[in-house]
Amino acid sequence: LYVDHPLSEGQSIPLDRDQAHYLFGVMRLPVGAPVLLFNGRDSEYRADVAEAGKKGGVLTCVERTRPLQVPPDLWLLFAPIKKARTDFIVEKAAEMGAARILPVQTEFTNSDRIRQDRLQAHAVEAAEQCGGTYVPEVAELARLDRLLADWDAERQIMFCDEALAGAAAAPGMATGGKWAILIGPEGGFSEAERARLHALPFAHPVSLGPRILRADTAAVAAMTVWQQRFGD
């Protein structure tokens, strides 16, 4: 269970109405039952139910069960698309071990607003779902050109360029260190963006195969390629 609360031995964790409904209404846990807790920042803890009610309850942290599993330093930059597909990208990125998720506005990005809090909640749910102890931060929407202007040159970019369509993937991608994957919007990258990205020494243009993938499919495919090559 995810809780937005510091975790340490002996700590009491108050539960809100939704958490109480899930634990005591849906899961039917009695007082004394164990629950695994994570908050995305500390180790995972086993807690026992101390008080159970309809509108709330209290858990008591008993013992540390797993350390925080910090994923490799991989960011996913993607241009938001339709709501359900943007949700999908965030959910899959969290499942696949992105350390940070950054929605970016490119020239052809349609949306100029996102619900950051909603997307962050999806990242929490996805971490919960796959038993992770880490929750990636979902950043506010930012312009790609501004991000690139302040970019830390040590962070390499796997630039998924649909225009390569099957041409050989970047040979110079070095293992380890800080990484970001960049996925464009439904309309693809503009010629100006493409030229700029091709000129950056830390950006590696990569093809994801001969077919043009939907942006949500491309995000999952790119994370799979990266994890297979560099993940640990």
In three-state secondary structure terms, 57 is: strand
Is the Cβ of residue 70 or residue 165 nearer to ligand SAM in the bound state?
A: 165
**Lookup: tokens for 99:** 């350390």
**Which of 49, 104, 218, 220 is the binder for ligand SAM (CB under 6 A)?**
218
**Which of 188, 193, 194, 226 is the binder for ligand SAM (CB under 6 A)?**
188
The residue among 172, 176, 178, 182 whose CA lies nearest residue 208 is 182
CB of 210 to ligand SAM, least distance (A): 7
Per-residue mark of binding to ligand SAM, 144-183 (x: CB under 6 A):
----------------xxx-xx-----------------x
**Which of 213, 225, 227, 230 is the binder for ligand SAM (CB under 6 A)?**
213
The residue among 52, 45, 50, 16 whose CA lies nearest residue 32 is 50
What is the DSSP track for 166-194? TSPPPTT--SSS-EEEEE--TT---HHHH
Is the Cβ of residue 132 or residue 185 nearer to ligand SAM in the bound state?
A: 185
Contact (CB, 8 A) for 51 and 57: yes
215 binds ligand SAM (CB under 6 A): yes
Contact (CB, 8 A) for 17 and 67: no
197 binds ligand SAM (CB under 6 A): no
Q: Could you give the C-alpha distances from 114 to 67, 73, 80, 142, 184, in angstroms and in order?
A: 32, 24, 8, 10, 16
Neighbours of 217 (CB within 10 A): 17
88 binds ligand SAM (CB under 6 A): no
CB of 76 to ligand SAM, least distance (A): 11
Q: Could you give the C-alpha distances from 16 to 39, 58, 83, 91, in angstroms and in order?
A: 15, 9, 28, 24
190 binds ligand SAM (CB under 6 A): no
Q: Residue count at the site for ligand SAM (CB under 6 A)?
A: 20
40 binds ligand SAM (CB under 6 A): no
Interface region with ligand SAM, contact rule CB under 6 A, candidates 50-58, 109-117, 206-214, 223-231: 206-214
Instruction: Write out the residues near ligand SAM by the rule CB under 6 A.
Output: 160-162, 164-165, 183-184, 186-189, 207-209, 211-215, 218
